[in-house]
Structure 1
Amino acid sequence: MVVARSFYQLLSFDSFVKSDGEMKRLSLLFVLMSSMRKKKNYKQVFKAVKDLLPDQPKVEEFVVDFEAGIWCALRKVFPDQSTKG
């Protein structure tokens, strides 16, 4: 088990960066979600993260799993960024 029973999911925010000619994954943020995996819950998390940033994030695209709630929430909060899975 990765998260305690009181949590439903560990959501991670990672970035792919180029270093020494190689692409590497850099973990930026972890969120323990205590609510069910629904669009409204993901939307709250994404909006809170976006509100904490000083500027509009410079995101080329989001790479996520095939969970419909995540995809819908990303389109609502970050409408100008593409998403792939």
Structure 2
Amino acid sequence: MLTAFAVLLVMAALLAFLNERYLRFPTTVGVTLAGALASILLFAGALGLDARQLLRQRASILTHAVISILLSPVLIGLAA
């Protein structure tokens, strides 16, 4: 997990550098392109998932997702 995060961080930094140095796209275009790249990588990672294993763990996945969704606005509200 940490390796994947590091790779995405390096890719984002590299794309930002290339955009700033050579391409000169507006920031919003650069962010959109980086988001498209992240979507492609996410889709490619999802192709390797084992659907049966995912179904076996659906209760814990749903519990984690619901708690995260409920906790996120609370923490953002407290920080603001």
TM-score (norm 2): 0.31
More strand by share: 1
Larger radius of gyration: 2
TM-score (norm 1): 0.30
Higher relative contact order (CA 8 A, sep 6+): 1
More helix by share: 2
